[in-house]
Amino acid sequence: MPGTIDFQLLEKIDSIELSRRNKRWREAMKASGWKVSTDRERWTVKSWKETEGEDLQLRRAKLLKCVLDNIEINIHPFDEIVGRPTPWVIGCQTAIDCCGDYIPGIWDDSGSFAATLDATVSISSEGLNVLRESAKLFGEQSLPAMTYKAWEELVGGWAKDVEAAKLKDPSLDSVITGQSTSVLSWKKILRVGLRGYIDECKRHIDEYIAAKGTDIDKIYFWQSAVIVLQAVIDHAHRYAALAEDMAAKEADAEQKAHLLKIAEVCRYVPENPARNLREALQSMQFCNLAKMLENPIQNNCHWGRADQYLYDYFVNDLKNGVPLEEIASMLADLIGRWGTQTFIASSTQKESHQINFGINNVMIGGLDKNREDCSNELSYLFLHLIALLQLSSPTVGLRWNRKTPDWIMRKAIRTNLATRGGIPLFENDEVLIASFMRDGIPFEEAVEWVGLGCVYPCLPTRAEHYGAEGVAAINLAGILHLTLHNGIDINGKQSGLKTGDPRNFKSFDELYEAFLTQYKYLCHRVFWLGGVARDMGHKYLRLPLLSILGIEASMELGQDLLKPHPDYSMFGISDRAIIDVADSMTALKKLVFESKALSMAEMMEALDSNFAGERGEEIRQLCLRQPKYGNDLPEADELVKKVSADSAAIINSYDNSPFRKFIISREGLAWHYYGGLGVGALPNGRKALEPLNDGSLSPMRGVDKNGPTAVLRSACHACFDAVSYVAVLNQKFSSSIIASEESIEKLIAYTNAYMNSNGSHIQYNILDTEQLKDAKKHPDSYKDLIVRIGGFSAYFVQLSPEIQDDVIYRSEFNL
């Protein structure tokens, strides 16, 4: 598309403001708070009792149909696009049928339970009884419960000990399955409609029977797909009927016409192919809504490359006279809708995510199959609306490449200046595509990569298992803790091997080898147990809607995604806290083994006492003064590079046959808070249980003293791009950077320079430290303040005090 951009249209977009409906939604959203509904759980219990004895695939299909046929629905006066998981502006359903008894607090009579780390939600006694009945019915036979039983048969209590010590995550009650956190097949959904899917399923059934196929599970799969696809169509028709009823009673002519238009659209999509942008967006909402209602704990609403597959609808609407303002209003509606979806998280998710808003991701720009940048006017409109909405979600990723035009970079930086909280982030398209190709993915497939959750890259053509089966991240700092304590974890359990008392190590190499031994043992054991969980999943759970709409291969295979196929499955791991480990190793090397300023006994006494007393603080300051990554110091940076490469070698040495090997992608989230809870005091000077370093390539907070470009040079020296698809680098700049156009150009040049040096990812908090301190003291005055945490953004006042301090005390730079 180079050379075809309508710059007059870009100017018109720059003048767009939120519509009256959008503003009314924002007001309602801010005033509403959010609620939890037990409506879905009531219908899952009813369906499960009615289908006892039937095949699991069909039972799960009928369960979703029962929910979609009966759940309470509503249309709000400001809705452009309709469909919500609850009747309220903000609300969520629970997922006990998928997760088991995962909600702490439902067995006491307080009338509330924890929704986030520091927020509770009220529930009626009637609602509480519904949740309890569901937990009794599903709890002991749920996928997590049965998998933990299998793990216990193999390794006793080790798996739960490792989770409790934060040595790996997530816990199984997050019920991440293949593709559950990724993008749906939007191109096909919009092109053929759900009726097209149904017809294709019926053809497969007829052909398989005619060919005398013997695998009845294939027939059950296609039948289950027909059930859920028709249920989604029927759910849309329920909204059409509601809109017609409301229109009949509506006195206002404009609103009456609007309701009748909603009814017309809902009668047509998602059953049929979308003919315009409104129908496309409405079809997407119904499909994503049904996906959320199938497994509400995985309520991610990922757009993928929306500026590409929606572009023709956008252009045709403009040609057909649809006002730009109307297009912007309905697009803003869906951006806002997906950006404010909530969920009841599992315990580990509360710690690793902090927030209860489902993370969703939209990708902007990037290369196409002709190796040309395909940023367009719709890319620009997405950025503009996200700047106007100023929400903490979606995560917006600009796919940077050497052909990325200046006009989209300027819009991206201005969007960042408007949100202040790292929206959009910048990911290196060329590094990502090369990483996929390095692992055997052809360019034509790799170029279509999209973001999952925060920054994790995945392919729409393959079921992504990152986080599934309890495998997402390994805590290298926790493994260092094991090494320094002869395999004993933070909770006093023998989770690691007995590699020896570090006081007896004669050399740094002996210490480092003990660390690698501990790492390989834990990492490969986690992968093994993940494989056990993978083989068990289909016995206790099926997700027919996700399967049929998730990847196109499911249709041909006739197979639920809970039965992963080697040719269409991807597996990922995030090896976290590399910087913490490397800085700690540098301090041990210099202080204990080279200068001998401290004995290992003195170091261990200081660490085990959490640097207590005058001598402890003296040792801590000595540790803090040692060379640190982020200051362009080769000694420190080289050890980061070594730990990174050795970690990758251990991961790559695991045989994941018959599936592909685990790919490495160094994520963000608020994992550094979660991971820190499993680590005692470290030789880098960090105190026990404090958050680790944010992101995966960010320096220890406050120690990067040599300016922002020194951080970039250290990051490039670490060479994470050689082994990891992406590595999250956060930087904080003073708000003075928004003072002039010159500052914007500097930040663009700064970003380009890092990406040109093979940096894979960078994102910016543009905030003043004093403002953040004031927000912590006076949260009511800063309810809309957005900050970048790891790989995602959140409202500052909703974060734990530890993460607030983490953001506050990161180094603040100027350009």
Query: By the 8 A CB rule, do 452 and 361 touch?
Result: yes
Q: What is the CATH number of the domain that holds 569?
A: 3.20.70.20
What is the mean pLDDT of the segment spanning 523-538? Answer: 97
Q: Which two tokens stand for residue 218?
A: 């294939």
- What is the rounded average pLDDT for all residues in the chain? 94
For 587-591, the CB contacts below 8 A with 24+ separation are 587/623, 587/626, 587/683, 587/684, 587/685, 588/508, 588/511, 588/683, 589/508, 589/639, 590/626, 590/627, 591/622, 591/623, 591/626, 591/683
Q: What is the pLDDT of residues 740-786, one digit of tens each?
A: 888 889 999 999 999 999 999 999 988 889 989 999 999 989 988 88
Where do we find the tokens 């919500």?
A: 84
d(Cα 277, Cα 80) in Å, to the nearest integer?
Answer: 12
Domain membership flag for residue 539: yes
Integer Rg of the chain from CA: 26
Query: By the 8 A CB rule, do 92 and 344 touch?
Result: yes
E-strand ranges in 525-674 read 569-570, 572-576, 663-664
d(Cα 544, Cα 130) in Å, to the nearest integer?
Answer: 25
Query: By the 8 A CB rule, do 472 and 681 touch?
Result: no
Confidence of residue 343 (pLDDT cuts 50, 70, 90): confident
pLDDT at 3: 54
Query: By the 8 A CB rule, do 164 and 347 touch?
Result: no
pLDDT at 112: 81
Q: 324-339 and 311-319 are packed helices; what angle lies between their axes, rounded to 10 degrees?
A: 150
Domain membership flag for residue 254: no
pLDDT at 678: 96
Same structural domain for residues 315 and 398? yes
Q: What is the pLDDT of residues 628-647, one digit of tens each?
A: 999 999 999 999 999 999 99
Q: Ramachandran region of residue 683, left (φ > 0), alpha (ψ -120 to 50) or beta?
A: alpha
Q: Per-residue pLDDT for 12 more than 90?
A: yes
Helices (H), 655-704: 671-676
Amino acid at 767: L
> Angle 294-423-351 (CA atoms, 0-180°, nearest 5)?
55
Q: Which two tokens stand for residue 653?
A: 């040495």
Q: Per-residue pLDDT for 2 more than 50?
A: no
What is the mean pLDDT of the segment spanning 620-632? Answer: 97
Query: By the 8 A CB rule, do 472 and 574 touch?
Result: yes
More confident of the two residues 115 and 450: 450
Confidence of residue 297 (pLDDT cuts 50, 70, 90): confident
Complete DSSP assignment for 715-730: HHHHTGGGT-S-B--E
Q: Per-residue pLDDT for 505 more than 90?
A: yes
Amino acid at 55: D
Q: Which two tokens stand for residue 239?
A: 């909204």
d(Cα 397, Cα 392) in Å, to the nearest integer?
Answer: 13
Same structural domain for residues 664 and 553? yes
Q: Per-residue pLDDT for 1 more than 50?
A: no
Where do we find the tokens 């929206």?
A: 423
pLDDT at 79: 98
pLDDT at 772: 92
Spatial CA neighbour of 536 closest among 53, 146, 139: 146
d(Cα 144, Cα 540) in Å, to the nearest integer?
Answer: 9
Helices (H), 473-592: 476-484, 508-540, 544-550, 553-557, 578-588
User: Which residues are paired to 342 by β-bridges?
Assistant: 357
CA 706 to chain centre: 32
Same structural domain for residues 636 and 520? yes
Burial of 150 per CB tally in 10 Å (0-12, 13-18, 19+): middle
Q: What is the pLDDT of residues 371-429, one digit of tens each?
A: 999 999 999 999 999 999 999 888 899 999 999 999 999 999 999 989 888 899 999 99
pLDDT at 430: 97
Same structural domain for residues 378 and 496? no
Same structural domain for residues 442 and 483? no
Is the alpha carbon torsion for 355, 578, 179, 394 positive or negative? positive
Same structural domain for residues 401 and 389? yes
Same structural domain for residues 93 and 5? no
CB atoms within 10 A of CB 44: 26
Which range has the worst mean pLDDT, 147-151, 157-161, 221-225, 777-781?
A: 777-781
- Percent pLDDT > 70 in the chain is 98
Same structural domain for residues 581 and 505? yes
Choose from 26-30, 219-223, 699-703, 790-794 the range with maximum mean pLDDT: 219-223
Spatial CA neighbour of 93 closest among 121, 69, 53, 65: 121
- Give the range of the structural domain holding residue 619, as residue numbers without chain letter: 157-180+462-725
d(Cα 155, Cα 533) in Å, to the nearest integer?
Answer: 13
Q: Which two tokens stand for residue 453?
A: 């959750």
Residue 307 CB contacts under 8 Å (≥ 6 apart), including other chains: 363, 364, 365, 375, 376, 378, 379, 382
Domain membership flag for residue 275: no
Domain membership flag for residue 248: no
Confidence of residue 353 (pLDDT cuts 50, 70, 90): low
pLDDT at 116: 67
Which range has the worst mean pLDDT, 101-110, 115-124, 209-218?
A: 115-124
Confidence of residue 119 (pLDDT cuts 50, 70, 90): low
**Nearest 5°: phi and psi at 586?**
-60, -45
What is the mean pLDDT of the segment spanning 573-599? Answer: 97
- Percent pLDDT > 90 in the chain is 82
Which of the 8 DSSP states describes residue 563? Answer: S
Count structural domains, the chain. Answer: 4
Express the helix, strand and coil content of the chain in percent, nearest 5 each: 55, 10, 35
Domain membership flag for residue 175: yes
Spatial CA neighbour of 712 closest among 730, 726, 724: 730
d(Cα 175, Cα 147) in Å, to the nearest integer?
Answer: 11
Domain membership flag for residue 705: yes
CA distances, 1 to each of 309, 384, 517 (Å): 14, 20, 51
Domain membership flag for residue 243: no
User: Which residues are paired to 569 by β-bridges?
Assistant: 463
Same structural domain for residues 544 and 663? yes
Same structural domain for residues 355 and 495? no
Where do we find the tokens 């940077």?
A: 400
d(Cα 34, Cα 86) in Å, to the nearest integer?
Answer: 10
User: Which of 746, 761, 776 is at the close of a domain?
Assistant: 761
Same structural domain for residues 457 and 486? no
Domain membership flag for residue 123: yes
Q: What is the pLDDT of residues 710-744, one digit of tens each?
A: 999 999 999 999 999 999 999 999 887 766 888 88
Same structural domain for residues 590 and 712? yes
Which range has the worst mean pLDDT, 107-121, 279-293, 444-458?
A: 107-121
Q: Per-residue pLDDT for 263 more than 80?
A: yes
pTM greater than the 0.75 cutoff: yes
User: Which of 725, 751, 778 is at the close of a domain?
Assistant: 725
Query: By the 8 A CB rule, do 424 and 364 touch?
Result: yes
**In which element (H, E) is residue 278 found?**
helix 277-294
